[in-house]
C-alpha cells in the first residue's frame, strides 16, 4: 500500500491543490456562474456554467470518489436529491425494487411516488438472504441496501447481496450514510452505486444539506446520471461543496471518536434499569455483533434504544435531556436525540416501537453525555 493511499491521508488531501496563481494551500471558493470561452468558442478549462460544473464541486467529487474507491462521484443539493437521481436513472416503468424494511423514510417516500410511474417496490428483511431471495420477482431491477439501517442499525451483508443482485441482473445501490467510507466501502464488495446524505457525517458539523452518488467501475448509466445532475439542477452551491470538502479532512478522526463515544453510551444504556433494549451492533450480545464485526471496520455513532413507559416515557426522556439536543438529523459533532415515532420524517410503512429513541452521539465528552442520559432516565 502506498503511504498516500491510507484513508486518513486521502481524507486530508484528495481533491486539494495548491492554487497556481496565489500559492493558497486551502482551496479558494469559486462563486462564478459563467466561465469564459476560448477564442475558438471552446471550454478548454473545463467549465462553462454553474449548474453543469464548478471547481469546488469537482474537487469534492474527486475526494469522494477517492474515499469510496469509485470511478467517479456526483454531488447533489441533498441526500434525497442524490437518491432520486439514481432511482430515476436506473429504473423504468414496469420495474420492481427491493428495499430494507426499516429503510430511511425519504427513500421509501420517493418509491411511493414512483409507483405513480409504474415502478413497484417491496420491503424485506435485508439481514436474511432467504427472505431476500424469496422477494425477488422477474422484473426486480434494483436492490437498495443501507450498510447500517436507520434507526435499528441492522447490518447488511453487502457482498452477498451484491452477488445475488447481479446473478438476477439487478443493480445494487448502497446508502452508506451511517457507516461512511471510514467503516465500510461497499464498491469493494461489489455494489454498483454508493449514495450518501453528506448532510450527516461527511460534512459533519450540522451546517450543510448535501448528497452524493459514487459510481463503481462497472456502474451502468453513468452518462445518464451525469446528465440528470445538470438538467435536473439539484446541485450544491460552491460554498456547500467547500464546507463538505473541508469536513472530509476530519472524517476519519471524527468517526473514530463518534464510535468510541457511542460504544460507551450503548454499554451504559444496556445496563440501565429504565432501558428495555439497545440497538448498537458493537454492543456485546447484540444479535448483529458477529455479522458487524466481520463486515464493518467500526460501528458508527448512532445508538437507538427503547425505554420503559411507552411513548410517554420516551417523549419524557427526550424532553428531559440537557446536553443532547432534542432535534432531528445525525452525524454532527453535536449530540442529538430523536423520538422516532413522532419525528417529522417518520411515515411510510415501517412499524417502529413507540418507545424508540435514536441518539446521534456527538463529540462532547462521553462522561458528560452519559451523565445527561442518566439524569434524564431517572425521574426524581
Ligand atoms: C438523512 C438521510 C438521507 C437523506 O438525506 P438529506 O440530505 O436529508 O436529503 C438519506 N439516507 C439516510 C440514511 C439518511 O440518514
Q: Give pLDDT tens digits for 16-71.
A: 999 999 999 999 999 999 999 999 999 999 999 999 999 999 999 999 999 999 99
- Ligand 1 atom nearest the C-alpha of 199 is 7
Determine whether the shortest distance from the Cβ of 154 to ligand 1 is under 6 A.
no
Determine whether the shortest distance from the Cβ of 79 to ligand 1 is under 6 A.
yes
Neighbours of 291 (CB within 10 A): 16
Determine whether the shortest distance from the Cβ of 140 to ligand 1 is under 6 A.
no
> 52 vs 74, 148, 198, 209, 267, CA distance in Å?
11, 33, 20, 19, 48
Q: Which of 75, 78, 79 to mutate to test the pocket of ligand 1 (most atoms within 8 A of CB)?
A: 79
Rounded to whole angstroms, how far apart are CA atoms 79 and 212? 6
User: In this predicted model, what pLDDT tens digit does every residue of 133-155 receive, in sequence order?
Assistant: 999 999 999 999 999 988 889 99
- Ligand 1 atom nearest the C-alpha of 329 is 1
Ligand 1, atom 7, residue with closest C-alpha:
79
Closest CA to 101 of 37, 134, 146: 146
In this structure, are residues 47 and 55 in contact, taking their beta carbons and an 8 Å threshold?
yes
Ligand 1, atom 8, residue with closest C-alpha:
79
In this structure, are residues 180 and 44 in contact, taking their beta carbons and an 8 Å threshold?
no
* Distance from Cα 150 to the centre of ligand 1, integer Å: 10
DSSP lists the bridge partners of residue 358 as 304, 338
* Distance from Cα 104 to the centre of ligand 1, integer Å: 7
* Distance from Cα 197 to the centre of ligand 1, integer Å: 4
* Sole residue written with cell 432531528: 328
Mean of pLDDT over the chain: 94
Confidence of residue 2 (pLDDT cuts 50, 70, 90): low
Strand order in the sheet with 325-326: 275-279, 302-307, 356-360, 336-339, 325-326
Q: What is the pLDDT of residue 292?
A: 81
* Distance from Cα 259 to the centre of ligand 1, integer Å: 19
Rounded to whole angstroms, how far apart are CA atoms 54 and 48? 9
**Helix segments in the chain, DSSP class H:** 7-13, 55-68, 79-90, 105-114, 129-135, 158-167, 180-183, 222-232, 238-249, 251-270, 289-295, 310-320, 366-377
Closest CA to 331 of 105, 72, 79, 59: 79
Amino acid at each position: 500500500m502506498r503511504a498516500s493511499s491510507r484513508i486518513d491521508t486521502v481524507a486530508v488531501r484528495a481533491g486539494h491543490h495548491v492554487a497556481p496563481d496565489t500559492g493558497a494551500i486551502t482551496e479558494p471558493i469559486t462563486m462564478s456562474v459563467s466561465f469564459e470561452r476560448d477564442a475558438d468558442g471552446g471550454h478548454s478549462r473545463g467549465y462553462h456554467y454553474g449548474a453543469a460544473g464548478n471547481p469546488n464541486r469537482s474537487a469534492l467529487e474527486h475526494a469522494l470518489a477517492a474515499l469510496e474507491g469509485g470511478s467517479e462521484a456526483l454531488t447533489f443539493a441533498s441526500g434525497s436529491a442524490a437518491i432520486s437521481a439514481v432511482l430515476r436513472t436506473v429504473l423504468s416503468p414496469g420495474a420492481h425494487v427491493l428495499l430494507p424494511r426499516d429503510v430511511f423514510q425519504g427513500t421509501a417516500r420517493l418509491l411511493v411516488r414512483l409507483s405513480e410511474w409504474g415502478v413497484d417496490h417491496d420491503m424485506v428483511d435485508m439481514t436474511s438472504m432467504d427472505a431476500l431471495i424469496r422477494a425477488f420477482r422477474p422484473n426486480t431491477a434494483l436492490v437498495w441496501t443501507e450498510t447500517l439501517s436507520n434507526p435499528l442499525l441492522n447490518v447488511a451483508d453487502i457482498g452477498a447481496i451484491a452477488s445475488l443482485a447481479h446473478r438476477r441482473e439487478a443493480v445494487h445501490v448502497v446508502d452508506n450514510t451511517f457507516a461512511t467510507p471510514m467503516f465500510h466501502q461497499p464498491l469493494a464488495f461489489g455494489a454498483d452505486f454508493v449514495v450518501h446524505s453528506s448532510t450527516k457525517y461527511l460534512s459533519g458539523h450540522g451546517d450543510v444539506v448535501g448528497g452524493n452518488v459514487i459510481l463503481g467501475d462497472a456502474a451502468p448509466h453513468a452518462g445518464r446520471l451525469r446528465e440528470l445532475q445538470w438538467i435536473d439542477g439539484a446541485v450544491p452551491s460552491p460554498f456547500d461543496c467547500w464546507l463538505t470538502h473541508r469536513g472530509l479532512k476530519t472524517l476519519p478522526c471524527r468517526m473514530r471518536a463518534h464510535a468510541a463515544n457511542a460504544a460507551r453510551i450503548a454499554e451504559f444504556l444496556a445496563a440501565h434499569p429504565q432501558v428495555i433494549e439497545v440497538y448498537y451492533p458493537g454492543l456485546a450480545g447484540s444479535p448483529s455483533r458477529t455479522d458487524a464485526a466481520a463486515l464493518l471496520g467500526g460501528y458508527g455513532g448512532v445508538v437507538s434504544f427503547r425505554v420503559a413507559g411507552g411513548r410517554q416515557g420516551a417523549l419524557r426522556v427526550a424532553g428531559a435531556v440537557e446536553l443532547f439536543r432534542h432535534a432531528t438529523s445525525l452525524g454532527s459533532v453535536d449530540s442529538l436525540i430523536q423520538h422516532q415515532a413522532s419525528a417529522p420524517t417518520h411515515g411510510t410503512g415501517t412499524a417502529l416501537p413507540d418507545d424508540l429513541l435514536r441518539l446521534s452521539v456527538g463529540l462532547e465528552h462521553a462522561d458528560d453525555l452519559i451523565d445527561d442520559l442518566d439524569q434524564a432516565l431517572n425521574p426524581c
